[in-house]
Amino acid sequence: MKSSSLKVLLLGYGNVGKALRRMIKERAPSLGLNVTIEGVVTRRGIMLGDSEEFRKTREGTPLDALNLVNPDLVVDVSSANYETGEPSVSLYMEALSRGTSVITANKAPLALKYGDIMNQARKHGASIGFQATVMSGTPSINLIRLLQGSTILKIRGILNGTTNYILTRMDQGLDYSQALREAQEKGYAEANPEHDVNGFDAAAKLTILTNFAMNRNISIKDVDFSGIVNVTPSRIEEAKRRSRKLKLVAVSEGKTSRVSLTEVSPEDPLYHVDGVTNTLDIHSDIQEVVITGPGAGPQNAAFGVFSDMVLMSRGLI
């Protein structure tokens, strides 16, 4: 979809959506882009037009909003529904069937229905951008776009900042409950951190990466994942005695995809990644490429979406 003028429908309008709105207004004009938010749809209803605060103008569903706005681009910054992926999946499938492109920061639809969504986009000549689903604004998906011509054999990484922060603080002497509480106080962990600490979030991101980088068609149900809830200070100390650290590492190689607690040595690029930082280590038949950066935060996620918007407007996605 090559166009410098975009009419956008937003699904969701929380912190990421508002950060994206600001970014569009501040940055799009200098890039020669004319982006207008024509409507926003949330659980509360539909807002036609653009406003800093959500003001419902009528009742309706995401599909109603699609019909009302008739956008060039649907942008999904809503919260994830890992049960069914709805209402996002149905919105994507209908939008794509009309040739309307989609950009998403929402991991759930692609973690559950990657093949269906991508096939729909190809069938109708539409594009889908999803950089923000993995490592937020740090170019993971869009780095892989640049590696065309090579065959990616293995991907591994630290894909969840919450668990990496907890493990880092445990390495520094806290126990699990202390480290989790501190992460929650700093806003790095949700009040209910289950999807992070049990490995689910990292598995969702690994699903998307694996499908895109390695031309697979798996769902999150095909990923063997475990988390960090049973890590004890003694386990941390055992690793330290061997000059190693414990990390929650996501790996895909061959037909196997897993997320598990792993000891890493100082020679490993993942060893030095601490706090909420994420890292992706890509092994191809040509070279190894490692990218490190923030993996969360409203501004970062908004940038992931915005970067896709810029690339899409130039026909690069």
For the annotated catalytic residues, the residue numbers are 205
Please list, in sequence order, all residues whose beta carbon lies within 8 angstroms of the beta carbon of residue 128, skipping any fewer than 6 positions away: 92, 96, 101, 102, 103, 104, 117, 118, 121, 317
Residue 87, preceding bond cis, omega within 30 degrees? yes
41 DSSP β-pair partners: 11, 46
Look up residue 134 and give its DSSP letter. T
| Cα(201)–Cα(199) distance, integer angstroms | 6
Provide the residue type at 93 as one letter. Answer: M
Q: Which residue has the tokens 């002497």?
A: 173
Q: CB 30: neighbour CB atoms within 10 A?
A: 7
| Cα(274)–Cα(290) distance, integer angstroms | 15
